[in-house]
Amino acid sequence: MLIKQAPEYRWSQITPKDVYLNRRRFFTTAAGGLLLAATDARAAKIDNVQKGALSTTGEKLTSQGDATSYNNYYEFGTSKADPARNAHRLKTANWKVSVEGACAKPKTYDLDSLMKLAPQEERVYRHRCVEAWSMVIPWRGIMLADVLKRAEPAPGAKFVEFTTLYDPTRMPGQRSDVLRWPYREGLRLDEAMHPLTMLATGVYGRDLPNQNGAPLRLVTPWKYGFKGIKSIVRIRLTDRQPETAWNDSAPNEYGFYCNVNPTVDHPRWSQAKERRIGEFLRRPTLMFNGYADQVASLYTGMDLRKNY
């Protein structure tokens, strides 16, 4: 049939959160005591997360069903529904992420030790996709700055490069060459150190679902969503501007900065307005996605038309 099967009810409506969590506990019990302890420790932390001071207020949250079923994550397929369908193949146990490159103290972390570097916060952020749709998402995580400071960046370090896991068996989308894998992203060091920049491990009060970038993703709310690289395995400090996946794929459409900017159109569509998922009428897009007060100073004197 020509119409895609769209469930009338959302997961969140069918499965109450406590049942979902109990199911998870059941599986981990079966998997063994050590794993159980680790998962429980992280699950328990969810309740202790503090609301971040930089959390965006006055916005209605996007429904969890939409945020976990309408995703761009080409590692699991190119359609919006593919990631929720295919991402279960990614097993994220024993995840390691290395912080390396131009720094005094490179280190490989497991997730728990990484998340202990700073108090975890919940922060609501607007999320603007380059495709002119948007959401409002409650993330949970820590500031990237707290991780980078620990590594003690070298004086020459000017940029940070992020790399997604490369594993075509667990990420079937990587078998097709829609992009050059693995997915790579980059930030200027001052952008990476900005207090709005987060490394997230959770969303909607629980661990990230795989389709949202589990177990660890970047969140930069003033930039288009594709900047928020998912399933990160490497964070590398460097003196050179890193290559990024979409810039590599279509340099005339995607630059290095990717700041949300209603006055600079994508070659194929206007960026002046956006469609908030769950709403019918479009709304105007805000400069830097509404975070201009916090981030505009990072770009003083820069021609944002050229540095898109």
Partner 1 sequence: MQMPAWWNTVREFKRPWWWKWVVWIAILAPGLLTIAGFLSDVLRDTRWLGSNPVKEGEQILGQLTIKYLVATLAVTPLRRLLGWNWLARDRRTFGLTAFFYALTHFLWYVLLDIQLDGAELVVDLTKRTYIIVGFAALLVMVPLALTSTRKSIIRLKKKWTVLHQWTYLVPILGVIHWWMSVKADIEEPIVFSLTFAVLLGWRLWYARRETSQHAATPSATSAAP
> Which is closer to partner 1, CB of 46 or CB of 81?
81
- 304 is a contact residue toward partner 1 (CB under 8 A): no
> Which is closer to partner 1, CB of 272 or CB of 296?
272
Name residue, tokens 């959401």.
135
Residue 195's Cβ-count burial label (10 Å; 0-12, 13-18, 19+) is: middle
What lies within 8 Å, CB to CB, of 75 at 6+ separation is 164, 171, 172, 173, 174, 181, 183, 230, 231
Q: Which of 118, 193, 233, 272 binds partner 1 (CB under 8 A)?
A: 272
Take residue 56 and report the two structure tokens written for it. Answer: 């965006």
Take residue 22 and report the two structure tokens written for it. Answer: 């109990």
- 249 is a contact residue toward partner 1 (CB under 8 A): yes
- 50 is a contact residue toward partner 1 (CB under 8 A): no
Name 135's bridge partners. Answer: 127
Q: Which of 19, 243, 273, 307 binds partner 1 (CB under 8 A)?
A: 273
- 19 is a contact residue toward partner 1 (CB under 8 A): no
> Which is closer to partner 1, CB of 74 or CB of 288?
74
- Least distance between partner 1 and beta carbon 238 (Å): 26
Q: 150 phi and psi, to 5 degrees?
A: -60, -30
- 78 is a contact residue toward partner 1 (CB under 8 A): yes
- Least distance between partner 1 and beta carbon 32 (Å): 37
Take residue 240 and report the two structure tokens written for it. Answer: 């050179």
Neighbours of 237 (CB within 10 A): 23
**Stretch near partner 1 under the rule CB under 8 A, chosen from 22-30, 76-84, 88-96, 227-235:** 76-84
- 179 is a contact residue toward partner 1 (CB under 8 A): yes
What lies within 8 Å, CB to CB, of 192 at 6+ separation is 144, 145, 148, 160
Residue 64's Cβ-count burial label (10 Å; 0-12, 13-18, 19+) is: buried
Among positions 86-125, residues that touch partner 1 (CB under 8 A) are none
- 81 is a contact residue toward partner 1 (CB under 8 A): yes
**Stretch near partner 1 under the rule CB under 8 A, chosen from 92-100, 196-204, 261-269, 295-303:** 261-269
Helix %, strand %, coil % of the chain (to 5): 30, 25, 45
Instruction: Provide the binding-site residues for partner 1, judged by CB under 8 A.
Output: 1-4, 6-8, 10, 65-66, 69-70, 74, 78-81, 131, 133, 176, 178-179, 249-250, 265, 267-270, 272-273, 275, 277-278, 280-282
